[in-house]
Structure 1
Amino acid sequence: MGIEPDHRPVDKQDSAANRPASPDELRDWIQAETGGTVTRWQQISGGNRCRSWAVDVDADSRVEQLYLRYQPPRPPSAEPYTVWREAEFYRALSGSAVPAPRLIAVHPGHQAILTERAPGRADYRRVTDESERETIAREFVEALATLHRIPATGLQVFDAESTIADCVRRELAIWRAMYEETREGDPLIDFALAWLESHVPEPEGRPVLVHGDAGPGNFLFENGHFTALLDWELAHPGDPMEDLAWFSMRCVMEPVPDFAARIREYGDLMGAAADLDRIRYHRVFVSTRVVIIRHRNVTGLPGNSIVSRALNRRLLVTAMAEATGVALPPRPPLHAPRTERGALFDHVLHELRHDIADVSAEPGVVAAAKNAAKVIKYLRAYDRYGPLIEATECDELASLLGERPASLQDGMARLGEALKAGRIPFETALAFFAGSVARDAELAASSSGGLAGRSFPPLTRSETDHV
């Protein structure tokens, strides 16, 4: 019996959506949909947000390799990105030339979808052969160009009269609502959203289907070649340049050879050069999204959170400076003597590495030790530089606000109010944030390893020559 997509309407009011689905319930659903027997059930990832399994089904003596994605119930939220919504984009790709897994079924009561399991692996950073890395990156760009030839018409989330700018504004409204529902202000996010909302590009052309998180880590490859685009959770109608901005963001973590050449190749495939100014605008928006995700996320390993916060806030300020043509002066490194507690931090780090991580055969123990080491490194830096940073930031806030704040927390709150009221010039505020994120980055540098010096890849050959 062949496996066909389930096109039945999803009843989102079904009470089942309000309770967690058990593994047995999901397995029974898969067997009912496919008419086969589940012979493999291996969880790939798990957490509060989404869980996924590699599933093999024996249907009519033929093994189907499938992928189950399940989203546990969550409280009502401004966030619209659900597994059911993702299914709409898989349906839009059905029959297209875009290399993406085929949708098999959508659960009518739980946030669960079943797709083909595309061949390949996602760990692009582990590819050591430079020619393979380039081939995979070039073929990914070809897939992206193929995707961007698909108009956004026919999607439930798309208004046929919408322009590209309308779609961008709709996304901005979603992310502002997601930020504001935290009821916890962040002056940098306020600053970025205000700039984005007042500088939306107005290009000609119709909206296209945008992946919304495109780049290394979200595609598969095998035997030196690209195989499939994955993870359509953030897909939406919009500006194709946004996906190139996402590509550059994901290349911070997993660089591709000669990124500027990949941008030129994309333009050749589309018959028109990529709009670099729009890519720079969307780098700001992409970075703002990532910072908002971190702002909303109260879970996760604290060591990774320290690294992510420092990196992504620095990238956001960098993106804003590049988008506006503002040259940010280099910041001198912090100078402060080690405290008497420095040796204690060093001792704990030595034990975590040599007495735990280096001798344990348990991956979970090693991971926990490494995460704890990141936290200790950050605390060691804060113990040394924290008072200096707080005094420096209060001094700079006093210059911006006209009087010294009672505390750093008070000063940041008052800065947010001043920014919303338009009392601080853009370049003055950007210079303050540049200093602030540079200090944060220095605190997190020891925890961040090689990521401490990473930035966006150059968009052009001339930018490459100046790096």
Structure 2
Amino acid sequence: MQSLDTQESAGALIEQKLRTFVEQLTGGRVTVMERLPRWRPAWNLDVRRGEEVLRLHIRGERGGDVSPFPELRREADILRLLGEQGIPVPHIHGFCEDPSAIVMERVPGTRDLSAAASDEERRSLARQYVRAMAAMHRLPLEPFVAQGIRLPQGADEITLAGLEAYYPLYLRNKTRPQPLAEFALGWLRRNVPRHRTRAGFVQYDSGQYLFENGRVNALYDFEFAMIGDPLADLASARMRDNYEPLGETFSELYRYYQEVTGEPADPDVVRYHTVLFSTVSAMQFSATVATPRPGDPHDTYIEFDLALRRVVAHALAEAMGVAIEAPPLVLIEAGPNARLLTMLEDAVGQIEVSDDFQKSRRAAALKLVEYLGRADAMEVELRRLEREDAEGLLGRRFEDHGQIDAALEVFVRDAGPEYDERLLRLFMAQIERRVQVFGSTAIGVSASHIDLPPIEPR
């Protein structure tokens, strides 16, 4: 594991390489270079070129093996193609090979809709976004195929395009049994909507746009974009509405999308894609939590893992018509290591750092300490209850908690659809208990706020 000094030296070298590349690319001089306090490398730059100041953004590699499309150049090529066809996206200035990074226009604006002037402006922004998304879905596919984007054929390939893209990543990194993921995968493959046979270009992590003064300036983040079912974008936008509101009720935007496209959007298919997108997203991060690697943004990955597993359970419950239930749980406030954890929290908090990026890393460490405190208090009880649930379903005893997920995964793979509801209720109980335990922590707060908005007006 690298020392802090070594990490800082490596970071300084990366920034110098990027600075040199940008100056050669633009023929200007970098006057400001600010690393953003995010979990993935990103910088904002000002470049003076004569009397002109270019405002640029650099998007670096995510790091770790958590992307089905790890080649960052792929996203740069997609953004270039979208821009050439009139979709509002950041302009691409160039691509740096070492280190891999996209140099793009720094689009003015924010994603925070609380900054909009009024509810009417928020509604207008949401509709602008929907129109841009619908225009993207109508684009000819030939330019993307020529760029190397896979063209799925037939209902199964079109519907499951996202699953097939993520599945090799999931298998490659899988280090422990994942019974919930396997259960969801089985359900998805058995329930493909066969009438979805027209493919479109989809962002596949939609709902992300920047606005300023009442105008959507750009859609952004096309790391996972692909050719697939356009309704997948409605599903992922629906999920994003939990923590990044779209600006209007999802049911109204669902109706407006149909008005703009002139085509019906089957609500059951949107529900199906909600299951699919949440499942592949959970698959994406499952190994990073099962087998953490030095340098990973551990707090972010745990947050994603817990929240996405809960969305999978809720989306499956919705699609299957099963009521969501949270089992009763008596919470214990402190565990046997409470005093030691208090000392650790104090020790981390006393570490003095000067820049915003290092402050964000200290904050991440404190989040993990808080999360560990709740685990210290409740993990033994959670495991006891999970063992009881598994023994009740499988009809056998488990002396070792580590055997439970392996046995459940084997059962899930062999079980027919007649077991769907019982299995879902077991997984739901596991997740809902953990949200009760960790939902009050900084890492668990996202999971505690999961609430899929209705697709149609109630």
TM-score between both structures, scaled by the size of structure 1? 0.81
Q: Which residue of 1 aligns with 2:5?
A: none
Classify the secondary structure of the residue corresponding to 2:322: coil
Q: Is the 8 A contact 1:213 1:247 kept in 2?
A: yes
Q: Contact between 1:72 and 1:111, CA under 8 Å: does it hold in 2?
A: no
Counterpart contact for 1:78–1:181, Cα < 8 Å: no
Closer, same or farther: CA 163–110 of 1 in aligned 2, 3 Å: farther
Higher relative contact order (CA 8 A, sep 6+): 2
**Alpha carbons of 1:153 and 1:403: their partners in 2 closer, same or farther (altered >3 Å)?**
same
Hey, what's the Cα distance between the residues in 2 that align with 1:414 and 1:34?
Answer: 58
Q: Which amino acid aligns with 2:134?
A: A
| Counterpart code for 2:106 | R
- The one-letter code matched in structure 2 to 1:192 is A
- Structure-2 separation of matches of 1:126 and 1:206: 37
Computed over aligned residues only, the root mean square deviation of the Cα atoms, in angstroms, reads: 3.5
Q: Deviations over 1:406-447 (max 9, x none)?
A: 222211111111112236811111111011111111111221
1:273-312 matched pairs, under 5 angstroms: 273-297=264-288, 298=292, 300-312=296-308
Aligned residue for 1:81, secondary structure, equals coil
Greater CA deviation, 367-376 or 222-231?
A: 367-376
Q: Partner amino acid for 1:404? A: R
1:370/1:61 CA distance change after superposition, 3 Å: closer
Letter in 2 for 1:251: D
> Equivalent pairs: percent with the same residue?
28
Change (3 A) 1:352 1:442: farther
- Structure 1, 452-461 or 109-118: larger mean CA deviation: 109-118
Greater displacement, 266-275 / 60-69: 60-69
Residue 232 (structure 1) shift = 1.1
Which string of whole-angstrom CA distances, capped at 9 and with x for unpartnered residues, describes residues 177-202 of structure 1? 11111232211111112222332333
Query: What residue number does 2:119 align with?
Result: 130
Q: Which position in structure 2 is the counterpart of 1:393? A: 386
Paired position in structure 1 for 2:455: 459
Q: How does 1:336-415 map to 2 (within 5 A)?
A: 341=336, 344=339, 371=364, 374-415=367-408
User: Equivalences for 1:192-271 in 2 at 5 Å?
Assistant: 192-204=184-196, 206-215=198-207, 218-256=208-246, 257-271=248-262
Query: Which of residues 121, 135, 148 is equivalent to 1:157?
Result: 148
1:30 aligns with 2:16: no
Indicate conservation of the 8 Å contact 2:138/2:200, yes or no. yes
Unaligned runs of 5+ in 2: 1-11
TM-superposition CA deviations, 1:294-322 (whole Å, max 9, x none): 21333555544444332221111001111
Whether 1:92 aligns to 2:85 is: no
CA distance in 2, matches of 1:438, 1:346: 25
Look up the SS of the partner of 1:461 in the other structure: coil
Query: Aligned letter for 1:194?
Result: G
Change (3 A) 1:130 1:350: farther
Contact 1:220-1:227 at 8 Å conserved across structures: yes
- Runs of 4+ in structure 1 off by over 6 angstroms are 72-75, 345-353, 359-362
Rounded Cα–Cα distance in structure 2 between residues aligned with 1:251 and 1:73:
26
TM-score (norm 2): 0.82
Q: Distance in 2 between matches of 1:442 and 1:225?
A: 40
Higher mean C-alpha displacement, 155-164 vs 384-393:
155-164
Superposed CA deviations along residues 242-270 of structure 1, whole A, max 9, x for unmatched, are 11111111111123432211111111111
Q: Residue 356 and residue 248 in structure 1: after superposition, are their counterparts in 2 closer, same or farther (change >3 A)?
A: farther
- Give 1:454 deviation, angstroms: 2.8
The residue number in structure 2 matching 1:335 is: 330
| Inter-partner Cα distance in structure 2 for 1:370 and 1:283 | 32
Q: State the SS of the aligned residue for 2:316.
A: helix
- Would you say the 8 A contact 2:35–2:44 is kept in 1? yes
State the one-letter code of the partner of 1:66: L
Q: 1:61 to 1:408 in 2, by over 3 A?
A: same
- Paired positions, count: 435
Q: Is the 8 A contact 2:91 2:105 kept in 1?
A: yes
Partner amino acid for 1:180? L
Match of 1:321 in 2: 317
Separation (CA, whole Å) in 2 of partners of 1:74 and 1:181:
13
Residues 1:150 and 1:81: Cα distance change in structure 2 (over 3 Å): farther
